[in-house]
């Protein structure tokens, strides 16, 4: 048993060492270069302060994807920039801490994330998130959230929401909360669903070590909330159900979903006993 585990353990050590060394270098690089990048974007691209920081975060995400692609396979099908109505409400299913990094795969950068309060307390990240004008949804009422998000949409900034509200513990798609759909019905801005798969196995919730699992990031068909106006006061509920079905179908078809790898099978408790 021990001999059969050794290749996988060695692979795990190599992947984690390589990935986290690269991750530290990436963070240091962004930390050192971001002031210069900020000045360049402000002067040459005429970005606003928040826009410049959002672009830096997006570049950071892109670099993270390049880093990860050295260790695992990443399948990206996020279409072209023209396929994203701007502004839009981008919905992403949530499996892992690294899902936010995967947004570097999108062809657009001017996106504000809706996040809970704890990520704002992460050193380094929290500062950038505040500068990028991310929305802290903790303890916000429905009216406050819609009002705040509408302001961003009116400025031409897209909003990114994880409709499950939290990371999935078991890889299954969780319940979708209504906030994003209420916003879509009130603002009439289109919904762009982005389905991520594999990140939950790459770095599961509550774990620190990454595993050699593939990741896929795919942009699904845009949903126009106007088509749901016919449902009256149930419009946002029907919109929510339609969006969830899209994600469910995509995850069902995904070759990555719920299939344990050889590595995870080898380390299952039953086999190690």
Partner 1 sequence: MTNDEIIERTNTAIAEEFELNMNDLVPSASFKDDLGLDSLDAVDMVIVLEQEFGIKIGKDPKILRIRQLCDLHSYVIDKKNAFLN
Backbone angles phi, psi at 189, to 5 degrees: -85, 145
Beta bridge partners of residue 111, listed in sequence order: 158
Stretch that binds partner 1, among 15-23, 79-87, 92-100, 228-236 (CB under 8 A): 228-236
Concatenate the DSSP letters of all residues of 16-27 into one string: HHHHHHHHHHHH
46 or 175: CB nearest partner 1: 175
Which of these, 186, 263, 265, 269, lies nearest to 16 by C-alpha position? 263
Q: Tell the smallest beta-carbon distance from residue 176 to partner 1 (Å).
A: 8
Q: Tell the smallest beta-carbon distance from residue 141 to partner 1 (Å).
A: 6
Asked if residues 80 and 71 have their Cβ atoms less than 8 Å apart, the reply is: no
Ranges within 135-164 binding partner 1 (CB under 8 A) = 141-142, 145
Q: Does 249 bind partner 1 (CB under 8 A)?
A: no
Taking the C-alpha atoms of 135, 141, 146 and 149 in order, what is their torsion angle to the nearest 10 degrees?
-10
Residue in 47, 54, 182, 218 binding partner 1, rule: CB under 8 A: 182
Residue in 3, 44, 233, 272 binding partner 1, rule: CB under 8 A: 233
Q: Does 234 bind partner 1 (CB under 8 A)?
A: yes
233 or 273: CB nearest partner 1: 233
Evaluated on CA atoms 237, 239, 243, 248, the torsion sign reads positive
Q: Does 237 bind partner 1 (CB under 8 A)?
A: yes
Ranges within 14-73 binding partner 1 (CB under 8 A) = none
82 or 143: CB nearest partner 1: 143
Evaluated on CA atoms 109, 224, 133, 19, the torsion sign reads negative
Q: Does 179 bind partner 1 (CB under 8 A)?
A: yes
Binding mask 184-213 for partner 1 (x = CB under 8 A): ------------------------------
Asked if residues 161 and 90 have their Cβ atoms less than 8 Å apart, the reply is: yes
In sequence order, what are the residues at sequence separation of 6 or more whose Cβ sits closer than 8 angstroms to the Cβ of residue 134? 112, 113, 114, 115, 120
Q: Which spans of this chain sit near partner 1 (rule: CB under 8 A)?
A: 141-142, 145, 175, 177-179, 182, 233-234, 236-237
């Amino acid at each position: 048993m021990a001999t059969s585990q050794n290749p996988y353990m060695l692979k795990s050590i190599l992947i984690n060492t390589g990935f986290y060394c690269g991750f530290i270098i990436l963070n240091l690089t962004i930390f050192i270069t971001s002031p210069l990048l900020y000045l360049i974007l402000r002067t040459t691209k005429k970005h606003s302060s928040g826009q410049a920081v959002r672009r830096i975060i997006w570049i950071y995400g892109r670099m993270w994807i390049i880093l990860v692609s050295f260790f695992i396979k990443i399948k990206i099908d996020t279409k072209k920039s023209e396929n994203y109505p701007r502004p839009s409400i981008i919905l992403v299913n949530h499996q892992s801490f690294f899902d936010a990094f995967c947004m570097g795969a999108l062809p657009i950068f001017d996106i504000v994330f809706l996040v809970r309060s704890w990520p704002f307390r992460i050193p380094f990240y929290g500062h950038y998130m505040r500068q990028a004008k991310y929305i802290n949804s903790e303890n916000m009422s429905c009216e406050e959230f819609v009002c705040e998000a509408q302001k961003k949409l009116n400025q031409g900034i897209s909003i990114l929401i994880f409709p499950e509200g939290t990371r999935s513990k078991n890889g299954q798609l969780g319940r979708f909360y209504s906030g994003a759909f209420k916003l879509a019905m009130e603002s009439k801005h289109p919904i762009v669903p982005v389905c991520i798969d594999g990140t939950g196995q790459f770095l599961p919730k509550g774990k620190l070590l990454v595993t050699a699992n593939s990741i896929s990031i795919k942009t699904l068909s845009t949903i126009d909330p106007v088509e749901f106006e016919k449902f009256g006061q149930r419009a946002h509920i029907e919109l929510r159900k339609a969006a969830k079905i899209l994600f469910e179908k995509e995850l069902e078809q995904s070759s990555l979903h719920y299939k344990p790898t050889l590595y995870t099978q080898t380390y299952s408790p039953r086999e190690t006993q």
